[in-house]
Amino acid sequence: MELPAQTFQVTRADLIRYAGASGDFNPIHWSDRVATKVGLPGVIAHGMFTMALVGRAVTEWAGSPDAVVEYGVRFTRPVVVPDDDQGTEIEVTARVREVTEDGLTRLEVTATCLGEKVLSQARATIRTAR
Amino acid sequence: MPLDPSFVGRTYPPTAPYLVGREKIREFASAIGATDAAHHDPAAAQALGHPDVVAPPTFPVIVTMAASRQIIEDPALGVDYSRLVHGDQRFAYTRPVVAGDELVCTNTIEDVSTRGGHGFLTTRTDVSTVGGEPVVAVWARYVIRGEA
* Cβ distance of A66 and B27 shorter than 8 Å: no
Looking at chain B, the whole-number percentage of residues with pLDDT higher than 90 is 80
Which range of residues forms the domain containing residue A73? 2-127
Minimum-distance CB partner of A68 among B57, B61, B139: B57
Distance (Å) from the alpha carbon of B113 to chain A's nearest alpha carbon: 18
- pTM for the whole thing? 0.95
pLDDT in the model for residue B16: 96
User: Does residue B29 belong to any structural domain of this protein?
Assistant: no
Confidence check: pLDDT of A70 > 90: yes
User: Does residue B133 belong to any structural domain of this protein?
Assistant: yes
Kindly report, residue by residue over B22-38, the tens digit of the pLDDT. Answer: 999 999 999 999 999 99
Could you tell me the CATH number of the domain that includes residue B119? Answer: 3.10.129.10
Cβ of residue A72 closer than 8 Å to a chain B Cβ: yes
Confidence tier at B147 by pLDDT (50, 70, 90): confident
Please state the domain count of chain A: 1
Task: Give the chain B residue whose CA is nearest to the CA of A76.
Answer: B87
Confidence check: pLDDT of B1 > 70: no
Which range of residues forms the domain containing residue B63? 5-21+56-144
Tell me if B140 sits within 8 A of B68, measured CB to CB.
yes
Burial class (CB in 10 A: 0-12, 13-18, 19+), B3: buried
Confidence check: pLDDT of A19 > 60: yes
User: Does residue B47 belong to any structural domain of this protein?
Assistant: no
Kindly report, residue by residue over B67-103, the tens digit of the pLDDT. Answer: 999 999 998 888 888 788 899 999 999 999 999 999 9
Q: Please give the average per-residue pLDDT across A39-50, as a whole number.
A: 95
CA angle A69, B14, B131 (to 5 degrees): 65
- When scoring A7, A66, A120, A121 by the number of chain B Cβ atoms within 10 A, the one with the most, hence best to mutate, is A66
Could you tell me the CATH number of the domain that includes residue A66? Answer: 3.10.129.10
Give the C-alpha separation, A60 to A120, whole Å.
Answer: 20
User: Does residue B50 belong to any structural domain of this protein?
Assistant: no
Please state the domain count of chain B: 1
ipTM > 0.90 (yes/no): yes
